[in-house]
Amino acid sequence: MSAFWSWWITLIALANILACVWLIRWTARKRPDEKPSHETTGHEWDGLTELNNPMPRWWLWLFYISIVFGLIYLLLYPGLGRYEGLLGWSQYSAWEEEVESMEERTAPLFAEFAERPIPELARNDEAMQTGRRLFGNNCAVCHGADGGGRTGFPNIANNYWQWGGEPEEIYVSILNGRQAMMPGFGGAMDDDAVEATAAYVFHLSGREVPEDLISRGEEHFGNYCAACHGPGGEGNKALGAPNLTRDEWTYGGGMDSIMTTIREGRQGRMPAQKDLLGEDRIHVLTAYVYSLSMDQRNEQDDEDDAE
């Protein structure tokens, strides 16, 4: 707050209090121990008139007491511009104290959860309620309330993973964050090459594309893309290069979006949560994220068993 606004607020606040004192004294000019007058205010409702008597003394004192209370409050707590108050109280310190006392209460619970393996924790209702709350507060802004993601923020509920879906891999994604690095090829490839390569990516994800584009695109893909995305577009967890064969997209699967991705590259960044949440909470969050794709995992297991 600038000095001007600080003084502005201080003066207005004090002037208001003084004005209240003056107003009370002014309205209370007549003492209640004077004989009540029969003067009326001139207001009349259906024959009822209002006597113009001063306020009773006890009521008057209530006003004075609240003014004194207000002044003491402004002395102790921040309220007058930049003045911090004698107690040094701030919303921030109050918040810190609250966080600290909550840490103390919840730490044993998280420590107990931290002992259990992720797949087991993912089936524990109590832990998953806690996980859902943590997710809602810390992750949903980007990944959506259901983990379904949106443009630029991956779906983490579909069991398709850029950086890996094993418990340890999810844990590391959350703990340390992830930084994806796909360079742009707008300089290296002309428009035709970009279009043919995008068409080839279309084809990889199982969609219909003219034959001649496919063969041209395949060659470009081998030259420019296969190093990271794999020769068949199956992706590479170590680089966070997504599998391009599944028709599931973070940046959009239309021809235009894919061409933009190729021209400009993509550098998605998952912020590290280690310092914000600590390892025990991240353990619970890992289990929660794991649980979001549990149905798909079970289906996958059934398919594997059938094979």
Contact residues toward ligand HEC (CB under 6 A) are: 138-139, 141-143, 153-154, 156, 161-163, 170, 173-174, 178, 180-183, 185, 197, 201, 224-225, 227-229, 239-242, 244, 249-251, 258, 261-262, 266-271, 273, 285, 289
Give the C-alpha separation, 123 to 184, whole Å: 42
Tokens matching residue 271: 């912020």
Which H/E stretch holds residue 190? none
Cβ closer to ligand HEC: 30 or 246?
246
Question: Rounded to the nearest whole angstrom, what is the least distance from the CB of residue 201 to ligand HEC in the complex?
Answer: 5
Question: Rounded to the nearest whole angstrom, what is the least distance from the CB of residue 85 to ligand HEC in the complex?
Answer: 35
Question: Rounded to the nearest whole angstrom, what is the least distance from the CB of residue 296 to ligand HEC in the complex?
Answer: 13
Question: Rounded to the nearest whole angstrom, what is the least distance from the CB of residue 66 to ligand HEC in the complex?
Answer: 45
Cβ closer to ligand HEC: 81 or 110?
110
**Of all residues in this chain, which one has the CB nearest to ligand HEC in the complex?**
268
Question: Rounded to the nearest whole angstrom, what is the least distance from the CB of residue 272 to ligand HEC in the complex?
Answer: 10
Give the C-alpha separation, 116 to 122, whole Å: 10
Cβ closer to ligand HEC: 183 or 231?
183
Label residue 60 exposed, middle or buried (CB < 10 Å: 0-12, 13-18, 19+).
Answer: middle
| HEC per residue, 157-184 | CCCCCCCCCCHHHHHHHHHHCEECCECC
Residue type (1 letter), 151:
T
Give the C-alpha separation, 159 to 290, whole Å: 8
**What beta strand segments (E) does 113-249 contain?**
178-179
Cβ closer to ligand HEC: 116 or 266?
266
Label residue 216 exposed, middle or buried (CB < 10 Å: 0-12, 13-18, 19+).
Answer: middle
> Is-contact 164 170, C-beta < 8 A?
yes
Cβ closer to ligand HEC: 80 or 220?
220
Cβ closer to ligand HEC: 62 or 102?
102
Tokens matching residue 86: 């004698």
Residue 159, by phi and psi: left (phi above 0), alpha (psi -120 to 50) or beta? left
Cβ closer to ligand HEC: 118 or 285?
285
Give the C-alpha separation, 175 to 270, whole Å: 10
Cβ closer to ligand HEC: 261 or 291?
261
Q: With DSSP H G I counted as helix, E B as strand and the rest as coil, what are the percentages for the chain, rounded to 5?
A: 55, 5, 35
Question: Rounded to the nearest whole angstrom, what is the least distance from the CB of residue 128 to ligand HEC in the complex?
Answer: 13
Question: Rounded to the nearest whole angstrom, what is the least distance from the CB of residue 195 to ligand HEC in the complex?
Answer: 11
Tokens matching residue 63: 């006003």
Question: Rounded to the nearest whole angstrom, what is the least distance from the CB of residue 98 to ligand HEC in the complex?
Answer: 21
